[in-house]
Structure 1
Amino acid sequence: MSTLDLQFRIDMRKLVLPSVLQMLVGNSFSLINTLMVGSLGDAAVAAIAAAGQISFILSMILSAIFGITAFITQFYGKADRMNMRKAFGLMLISSVVITLVVCALVSGFKEPILSLFMKDEVAVAYGVHYLSVIVFVYLINSIKDVYGSALGSIGQVKLTLVVGVIAMIVNVGLDYVLIYGKLGFPRYGIVGAAWATLVSSMIGAILLIGYVYWKKYEINLKLRELFSLDWPFIKKVYGTTLPLLFHEGMWSIGNMLYAVAFGHLGVAALATFQLANTFQGYFMVGIFGFAYAAKVMIGQKLSLESPDEAIVYARKFTRIGLYAALIASVVILLISPFLYKLFPNLSTEVQSSFRNIMIIQALVMVMFFLNNLWIVGMFRAGGDNLYTMNLILITTWVITLPLVFAGAYWFRWPVEWVYLMFTLEEVSKACIGFFRYRSNKWARNLVRDLQEEL
């Protein structure tokens, strides 16, 4: 075994397991809320789905801002702590400002926004009450997640994992107490789920940020450092990140429009779409961990003079992703006949559609895995954001959205057929993205480029 192979295995083992566990914990928030709210019926699940689209759009926009972690990783790899802290400060300010704008818009237009996804008055009312609380979660997470992403970008995953587990335990306990009215509390229903999320998010933020400053991690930024950024630095970092912001914005709006299309088919179809997305995220937890490890490991290799070792790592991660996807597909096929039984209070229509959609997911899971690994784990590590922006414009807006809307509005296809059109985004993305992956044009040294321009 070569030295490079040995180093790859050591680094991967150190990063992947904590990353997978962290992603598992993160996805558990959504799954737990869906499971517990599922007992309230189709309308409550549809309301969670509609409100979740706003959360999803914000999270995707912020994930674009978190693309700045590519600089943090490469500066860390070159032991340039000053510029690493500057990049972190820029990421923190950007995240908070964007979230404040979104919070103001959501607070002012809750009902009109929710009405885009569903016409059922009961479901809209559920959603309004839910959003009235969840909007505060957005602001808390806009700060907490910046610290978590920065820690992850330098390989410090254990802290965010431990804090995530604590927050999840709190969330589960409060969900049970507040949704169903246990231990002397009133039965709050869907609003109880929102309050549980708010409290657990606050506890997670206090623990994570407090520990960063107590242990004096590299990102324990002082207030004056936040306002000491210079324009050439900001311009260069934003020049690389803004295409990613546009990419994530267009992709998240596209996904919101998918929900609009499914909502046009009825509350049952939107509830089915929510369940499918929740479980898809859960089954992809493994590849999220590998994609994160790939981003850190490949990003650090790209900070060296030659990209050769980064490209070797990319090939290794792709093989791992392919094998993991095949295993996940088999698992989904085996358990899909039983998953719907987790939701006995949902309508027979939703249960039947959900079962069929899980089979569709199993058939295209390889595409989901490879896209996540290539785009998040490799292309972003090299700041190849302009390409991914163009990729999304073609696969989401030119190919898939027209087909989904034609199926929902024109042909009025069953939800399974519309979902099949929805998966064509991943199929087309993988087919086109493969050529970029093989070209190695994504393997760029961002730190060297930045230093040459400053």
Structure 2
Amino acid sequence: MSETASTAPIPTTWNIFQLAWPLTLKAMMLHGIVVTDSLLIAALGEESLAAMGLAAAIGTLLLGILLAFSNATQIRVAVAFGANHPVDLKSGFYCGLAINLCVALIGIVGVWLFAGGIVQSLAHTPDIAAQAQRYLGVFMFVVLSEAVGQCLSGHFDGSGQTKVPFYSYLIAVPANVACSVVLIYGLFGLPQMGLTGAAVGSAVSSILRAGFLGAVFYRQNRWYRDVSGWRQGSFWIATKRHLFFALPIAATFGSSTVANSAAALIYAKMSVNQFAAMTLMMPWVQIAGTLGITWAQATGIIVAQLLGKAYSSAALDVFLRRAWRIAFVAAALVSVTYLFVCLASGWIYQGLQDETKFALMSFLPVLLILPFPKGSNAICGNTLRAGGDTIYVMNIFVGGQWLVRIPLTAIMILYFDLSVTWVFTLLLVEELVKFPAFHMRLFKGKWKTGQAGGA
């Protein structure tokens, strides 16, 4: 351990908060973009909404994969930043950028080859299919620009500059709304593009965001032109090591996406009222849960930086105890939010039938408990990833999804026809199953070497 690490102060909860609040607001703005686009498209009618839903399912999958790879870049950069190794910082960024661009190009080729057939088979009418394909064609520019933008965001987040990506969304969101409104409805003499106009708005905002991040990156680092060499002495070797580290994180996201889609298809077998209740509550679970997840993400960034600085095991334990205390406070705030949503569901969603309202209220006991194990598991997961234990984290997530939640969901609905209340408890059951596996691994402490997964 270096002398600097042995004498440097241990980060406080305030240090975590400084990283976490921009991450939280950025995540909420991302959810807001989806809601805003839906509101703008709603005026075009159900067919346009259906077309957007089809296209967005494919586009969101590609963006999510890019985000997963960018999260890996974030961890690699955080370790290099903590160690103050310019060559590793340069390698983390450019290896991540190369991987992102390859993934984006593979995705674009895949959409060009296969998306048309998928959309036509799922669309109810030829017009819906045509609209979805036009939207996807333009949206590929979003995928390409986000390959760059997400990697730049990962670099800034890993360097502790989480405000910079947040500021980029302060530019992107208004640009998206303004451009989309003008092009959807053909204002100011511009062509009326309908649904395709929303895709153009997203592309313009994404390009602006990537441009802003690139300008800040150049101003700070000049693209690392003054830093020579690569990690492990070769760009190719460094990229392979980076990819090996990143693949389990991407696989975790892919598994989660497929599992959620499978669960949604099974939910559709419930009665209309019960399915409606589940459909209404799941977005709240994701949005309100952002507070705990981003706190855990900020904790993981700092842990990676501390590992790069070679902090002692005792210092890491002190930091994590501090992080955990506030994580439980965040969980309590999320629980209160869920309580408000359940109690105010009749006012938020006016016109609901009594059976749907009863189902929403029946979720409350689970919602009051869920944030606590979920938040603690998130702290463990992000900490283990920071220490390079990405494969183990992937195994826990995949096991919880495909050995517990999805099979039990199918059994409860398809075989026993249980109520939605019992089905909803599986969200808590999954977290409780993951709880001992996460915490036992964390307490073993192998991650404190920073080489738990051979990173």
**Displacement of 1:414:** 6.5
Q: Given the superposition, is the C-alpha separation of residues 322 and 166 from structure 1 closer, same or farther in structure 2, using an over 3 Å criterion?
A: same
Quote the Cα distance in structure 1 between the aligned partners of 2:449 and 2:90.
Answer: 21
Q: How does 1:93-112 map to 2 (within 5 A)?
A: 93-112=98-117
Q: How does 1:146-185 map to 2 (within 5 A)?
A: 146-179=151-184
CA contact (8 A) 1:356 1:416 kept: no
Choose which of 298, 301, 304 in structure 1 pairs with 2:306: 301
Equivalent position amino acid for 2:373 in 1: M
| Residue in structure 1 matched with residue 245 of structure 2 by the alignment | 240
Q: How does 1:62-101 map to 2 (within 5 A)?
A: 62-66=66-70, 67-101=72-106
Quote the Cα distance in structure 1 between the aligned partners of 2:396 and 2:267.
Answer: 24
Q: Does 1:403 align with 2:384?
A: no
* Percent identity over paired residues: 22
Give the stretch that moved more between structures: 26-35 or 198-207: 26-35
Choose which of 276, 279, 286 in structure 2 pairs with 1:281: 286
| Residue in structure 2 matched with residue 331 of structure 1 by the alignment | 337
Q: Output one character per residue of 1:90-124: Cα deviation in whole Å (capped at 9) or x when no partner.
A: 111011101211122223322544578x6744866
**Displacement of 1:402:** 1.6
Q: Runs of 5+ in structure 1 lacking a partner?
A: none
Q: How does 1:194-205 map to 2 (within 5 A)?
A: 194-205=199-210
CA contact (8 A) 2:95 2:235 kept: no
Choose which of 383, 388, 392 in structure 1 pairs with 2:393: 388
Equivalent position amino acid for 1:30 in 2: V
Give the stretch that moved more between structures: 22-31 or 316-325: 22-31
Query: TM-score under structure 1 normalisation?
Result: 0.81
| Residue in structure 2 matched with residue 8 of structure 1 by the alignment | 12
CA contact (8 A) 1:47 1:124 kept: yes
Quote the Cα distance in structure 1 between the aligned partners of 2:207 and 2:272.
Answer: 32
| Residue in structure 2 matched with residue 207 of structure 1 by the alignment | 212
Q: Mark the structure with the bigger radius of gyration.
A: 2
Equivalent position amino acid for 2:442 in 1: Y
| Residue in structure 2 matched with residue 28 of structure 1 by the alignment | 32
**Displacement of 1:299:** 0.9
Q: Given the superposition, is the C-alpha separation of residues 220 and 96 from structure 1 closer, same or farther in structure 2, using an over 3 Å criterion?
A: same
Query: TM-score under structure 2 normalisation?
Result: 0.81
CA contact (8 A) 2:386 2:450 kept: no
Choose which of 326, 338, 343 in structure 2 pairs with 1:320: 326
Q: Given the superposition, is the C-alpha separation of residues 226 and 236 from structure 1 closer, same or farther in structure 2, using an over 3 Å criterion?
A: closer
CA contact (8 A) 1:271 1:350 kept: no
Quote the Cα distance in structure 1 between the aligned partners of 2:251 and 2:234.
Answer: 23
**Displacement of 1:350:** 12
| Residue in structure 2 matched with residue 310 of structure 1 by the alignment | 316
**Displacement of 1:382:** 0.8
| Residue in structure 2 matched with residue 430 of structure 1 by the alignment | 435
Quote the Cα distance in structure 1 between the aligned partners of 2:113 and 2:13.
Answer: 50
**What is the aligned-residue RMSD (CA, Å)?**
4.1
Q: Runs of 5+ in structure 2 lacking a partner?
A: 1-6
